[in-house]
Structure 1
């Protein structure tokens, strides 16, 4: 479900109007998270580390209201829950878009995600659809080959887009910990560095459970 934001009383109304006039209204930052405990937990469960951290990233994104705002036809809406539109790779090094519904449990999320992964493996092309183009998603991608320190995204400026974009990089060892770079891109009319920081703090907290 989504709820219309009253722009007349919304504290971000001037921020929204200002940044919405930009050709590129998105800003981005990159930070490392400690994934030592998370990788160990995924190993204990016998599952995919990617799906483990993707679930917790979505849970963290849902905690931060700014990540649930979307711009639709010039209006701002707040969604009750957001999901993942993740790029999933194939053995031939192509990828496809997906829609993975967020669930209340990690187990439920993994079942849905594994079904999407199987569908991608059995397909060709990008798999563009109404599901992958839903507004109530976070665009997610993983680059496990690169310990990136910054990241930019291909964007069509003529296509309206207000979905956050979260990318995950190569896990690397730093002293006694495992670290993973995370890139966060947000529409500046809907959120600021403070909100990106809230997400990263919530994500780190969940990875450390």
Structure 2
């Protein structure tokens, strides 16, 4: 698969000559050692893409020609993951894994037992992980949300699932329909979701499910949840 980079002013006309000169271009020249004749992909991060061929390599940029272009439609199910904030390194890892899983929106949550803090670099992490995983749509990373805001989001979702070790309900039993346009997944902190928070989510309409027998780290639980639900909903 061709290497992917993001640009703000994506060229889409076949035969068009384009000056690729942002930070990604600098990386392509200095780190990846791209040369004339190399093919790679450019995207606007919102589904549009162009396959380009380099024909002139400069100190920090490349001149390329557009060989083909197109648009990748979004999947029928929009997936939002509410991620309670773990410690800084774990938070970055969670953003990377959720991006690789194909999540559309990541909502950092300052749960009662959260120990991490929101970083302005979360969006950068999502962008870099999108390049690594060759996804043409960069997930949105929102501002930190309160428990009340998450309850409101639950009410607006077709299906909201909160994972908690206290329940005996299997994930497969919590999903009764494949017709889900808006999915919300809630992942708690390392210290667990408090009984009060869980009651609020259930009252707002969320289903509580068990994610197997092993207890995953908060940063790892999201990708496991999204993978399982995507398979059950036939998104994958």
- Common fold, TM-score beyond 0.5? no
**Greater Cα radius of gyration, structure 1 or 2:** 2
TM-score normalised per structure 1: 0.29
The higher-RCO structure (CA 8 Å, 6+ apart) is 1
